[in-house]
Amino acid sequence: MTSQQPPSTVPDVPRYAEELAEELEDLGAPGPGPAPDRFLDREASWLDYSARVLELAEDTSVPLLERVRFAAIFATNLDEFFMVRVAGLRRRIATGIAVTAPSGLSPREQLDLISRRSHEQVERHVRVFRDDLLPRLRDEGICLLHYAELTADEEKRVDELFEERVYPVLTPLAVDPAHPFPYISGLSLNLAVVLRDKDTGREHFARVKVPPVLPRYVEVGPSRFVLLEDVIAAHLPELFPGLDVLETHTFRVTRNEDLEVEEEDVENLLKALERELLRRRFGPPVRLEVEETMSRRVLELLLRELGVGEPELYQVPGPLDLGSLWPIADLDRPQLKFEQFVPTTHPRLRDSDGQQVANIFTALRESDVLVHHPYDSFATSVQAFVEQAAADPAVLALKQTLYRTSGDSPIVDALIDAAEAGKQVLVVVEIKARFDEQANIKWARALEQAGCHVVYGMVGLKTHAKTALVVRQEPDGSLRRYAHIGTGNYNPKTARLYEDVGLLTADEQVGADVADLFNHLSGYTKHSDYATLLVAPDTMRDGIIHRIDREAANARAGRPAAIRLKVNSLVDEQVIDAMYGASAAGVCIDAVVRGMCALRPGVPGLSDTIRVRSIVGRFLEHSRIFSFHNDGAPEVWLGSADMMHRNLDRRVEALVEIRDAAVREQLTDVLDIAMDDTTACWELGPDGEWSRLLLDSEGRRRVDFQGTLIHRHAAQSADPRDQRAS
């Protein structure tokens, strides 16, 4: 069938940290009193993560176009940080709920810290782009030009393009008593223009918006580009005939783009959210970026009209919005990129000749399968699981959560096919997924029109669990449940960019628990007792802390004890305090935390036995894995939740216990590689400072975690003889 693609309000470019904004949600979370000796500041910790991404843009050992990509990632991440976290802190101050953070900083102090650190990072970012990346790109024949640098032939072509494609969509807006200062939409790129009437000598101000519907980088020749705003600036006399152009400067505003919907007070959540999305466009400014050449009089006009203070002002050499560098990073220059990588079909999911996708239900009846994306293909594993269920006449019902998916989603297509084939289809669509709300509303309506049962989760909670359930009638007439529980979204595009793990299983108890979870989401049940799942907000925090405390008890009794976890963020104070207690008992704790970490490792008497590392690379580390030694009977869990207030208190999340020994061994192997002393990483010190570790104790370069997994999966794909252990 034809995919029903909903319209998008943002460019369809891959984002390295698509869920970044979700990781910044904990503004309203309760917490303990200030304890800076125990908790690092989460704002500073996020900025540390931002700095790690920036380090990769600065790293000359990284291929050139990948460095450009990391420069773009840094910029888009910082945009979302301001739209969500900075906006939220400013709102708390404005409303008088300025609660001191566990780190001991007040919201005002946090904003001061953010301003200082962000300005420093932006200066580094501009410097590496201007002084390093641009010259290296030029050396490789990739030229980002100013209009004045074009050849005569290039200038002629650009002039023609302006007349035919650009001029018709421009709308210059004057500012005078009859024309009030225009509304400046968030993240739009704008030209501030100062004009003088040739007859009267009177000066005027105008704003010209750079059209977001046109490519930012205009290709004027092979690997030669000029910025669209430069093209427009060069043709301003055509927009303002009879006026002299005195000044032209670019500027950009970032606005509060948070949403506030009181779900208990609205009759129809869908309509309420749509109204709030319209209001989002008019959020107050939280940052103003301008070219450093902007005159003081123009700058003061913008500050006054936008209501922005000097701390929110960022003056940079330009160009602004380096988050738009994706088309440059995507140029077809393989020698300037990471070695090409193509995901492969999991050996257990291939047919006998190794060429086609096997019947997944047959494979799962044999044993569980762990898929590790992007190394294992999403299309031939999780996507195939849903598609085969939709096409299989023996499948009676299909249930799935959808948090984020792609614009042309084969998952949604398969769900629609299943409903049209007469199967019972339940889809839990989370329409409050930040910055994907509009797309999810469109998907919800398309699914409903096809006959799917669509629910929007639970009032007051976001449904973030990644679960799918298939009910199938077996040849003997019995019914059997097949399930998928994962750490990543059902999105084939991000599955090629994000590192995630997922369990495909026909385990009866796991299937029964997932069925109960879906009944809990779609009905009025108060079920919270699961044999193989930890589900937030009911049992997850207590379940994790119980297992941490059990390791501590084992250590005090003289038995072996160890905890290992891999998460995106670790900021929940109750979980951290439990880890401190386990450390005091002598438990060895290793954590890989990609983003924010409020735990202080290695503090004498507090966290001597805790080590925290971070891995940032070509793929976004996104999996959540928890491992407990359990006195020789190891427990391993995977699922959707980070150790944050928002995950544990305000979301429906699911972790599943791994009951298959071979799958436990595979996840243990992933943790072994990530935490090995020969693996490159950043390490967190007790003072809150991160150090990059590229060399081992003998001075040899450490191995790349993701590169190791690429080569390992490639070897397994080439020689899948041991399919059970792969």
Tell me the per-residue pLDDT of 437-451, one tens digit each, with 9 for 90 and over.
566 677 778 888 889
The torsion angles phi and psi of 356, rounded to 5 degrees, stand at -110, 160
| Predicted pLDDT of residue 271 | 55
User: Quick one: CA torsion of 604, 605, 608, 609, rounded to 10 degrees?
Assistant: 180
* pLDDT single digits (tens) 254-265: 998 764 444 444
The 3-class secondary structure across 476-517, one letter per residue, is CCCEEEEEEEECCCCCCCHHHCEEEEEEEECCHHHHHHHHHH
Pair of tokens at residue 305:
């009209």
What mean pLDDT do residues 250-279 have? 60
Does the annotation mark 464 as catalytic?
A: yes
What mean pLDDT do residues 600-604 have? 97
Residue 494 CA to residue 566 CA, distance in Å, equals 19
- Which residue shows structure tokens 């036995």? 609
| Predicted pLDDT of residue 584 | 98
Pair of tokens at residue 178:
């009859």
Query: Within a 13 Å sphere around the CA of 2, how many CA atoms are in the beta-carbon half?
Result: 3
CB 320, CB 228: distance < 8 Å: no
467 vs 436, residue with greater confidence:
467
* pLDDT single digits (tens) 157-208: 999 999 999 999 999 998 876 778 888 989 999 999 999 999 999 999 999 9
| Predicted pLDDT of residue 696 | 84
Burial class from Cβ neighbours inside 10 Å (0-12, 13-18, 19+) for residue 484 reads buried
- Which residue shows structure tokens 């641009």? 134
Residues 6+ away with beta carbon under 8 Å from 468: 382, 385, 386, 398, 399, 400, 401, 483, 484, 490
Distances (CA, A) of 142 to 153, 154, 159, 451: 18, 15, 21, 51
pLDDT above 70: residue 551: yes
Helix axes of 382-391 and 410-420: crossing angle, nearest 10 degrees: 20
CB 463, CB 430: distance < 8 Å: yes
pLDDT above 90: residue 287: yes
Residues 6+ away with beta carbon under 8 Å from 621: 499, 566, 568, 592, 594, 615
Percent share of the chain, pLDDT over 90? 75
| Predicted pLDDT of residue 523 | 84
Residue 49, SS3? helix
Amino acid 329 reads A
Burial class from Cβ neighbours inside 10 Å (0-12, 13-18, 19+) for residue 379 reads middle
In eight-state DSSP terms, residue 174 is E
pLDDT band at 5 (very low <50, low <70, confident <90, very high): very low
Element (H, E) at 362: helix 360-366
* pLDDT single digits (tens) 113-148: 999 999 999 999 999 999 999 999 999 999 999 999
User: Quick one: CA torsion of 120, 125, 130, 135, rounded to 10 degrees?
Assistant: 140
Residues 212-248: b if buried by 16+ CB within 10 A, e if exposed: eeeebbbebeebbbbbbbbbbbbbbeebbeebebebb
| Predicted pLDDT of residue 725 | 36
Pair of tokens at residue 322:
């380096």
| Predicted pLDDT of residue 15 | 47
| Predicted pLDDT of residue 510 | 98
Residue 135 CA to residue 148 CA, distance in Å, equals 18
Question: Number of helices (H) and strands (E), helices first, in the chain?
Answer: 21, 27
- Which residue shows structure tokens 């385990």? 507
| Predicted pLDDT of residue 10 | 37
The torsion angles phi and psi of 608, rounded to 5 degrees, stand at -55, -35
The torsion angles phi and psi of 71, rounded to 5 degrees, stand at -65, -40
pTM over 0.85: yes
Residue 527 CA to residue 511 CA, distance in Å, equals 15
- Which residue shows structure tokens 């305000």? 650
pLDDT band at 717 (very low <50, low <70, confident <90, very high): confident
Q: Name the nearest CA neighbour of 68 among 82, 54, 80, 79.
A: 54
The alpha helices in 523-633, defined as continuous H runs, are: 540-556, 573-584
pLDDT above 90: residue 525: no
Residues 6+ away with beta carbon under 8 Å from 227: 144, 146, 216, 217, 218, 319
| Predicted pLDDT of residue 698 | 86
pLDDT band at 301 (very low <50, low <70, confident <90, very high): very high
Lowest mean pLDDT among 64-73, 87-96, 707-716: 87-96
Amino acid 448 reads E
| Predicted pLDDT of residue 404 | 72
pLDDT above 70: residue 283: yes
Q: Considering the candidates 125, 249, 373, 464, report the single residue annotated as catalytic.
A: 464
What mean pLDDT do residues 248-253 have? 97
Q: For strand 610-614 and strand 620-621, is the pairing parallel, antiparallel, or unpaired?
A: unpaired
Q: For the sheet with 203-209, list strands across it.
A: 173-175, 203-209, 189-197, 243-255, 285-291, 313-316
Distances (CA, A) of 552 to 72, 541, 583, 630: 44, 17, 8, 10
| Predicted pLDDT of residue 139 | 98
| Predicted pLDDT of residue 326 | 95
* pLDDT single digits (tens) 376-388: 999 999 999 999 9
Residues 6+ away with beta carbon under 8 Å from 19: 404, 568, 622
| Predicted pLDDT of residue 267 | 44
Pair of tokens at residue 145:
């030009």
Task: List beta partners, residue 315.
Answer: 290
pLDDT band at 318 (very low <50, low <70, confident <90, very high): confident
| Predicted pLDDT of residue 357 | 83
User: Quick one: CA torsion of 391, 430, 505, 722, rounded to 10 degrees?
Assistant: 90
* pLDDT single digits (tens) 328-364: 999 999 999 999 999 999 999 998 776 678 899 999 9
| Predicted pLDDT of residue 265 | 41
Pair of tokens at residue 121:
């990072």
CB 582, CB 564: distance < 8 Å: no
Burial class from Cβ neighbours inside 10 Å (0-12, 13-18, 19+) for residue 512 reads middle
Residue 253 CA to residue 200 CA, distance in Å, equals 33
Average pLDDT in the chain: 89
| Predicted pLDDT of residue 17 | 43
* pLDDT single digits (tens) 27-59: 545 466 678 899 999 999 999 999 999 999 999
| Predicted pLDDT of residue 723 | 44
Residue 42 CA to residue 120 CA, distance in Å, equals 18
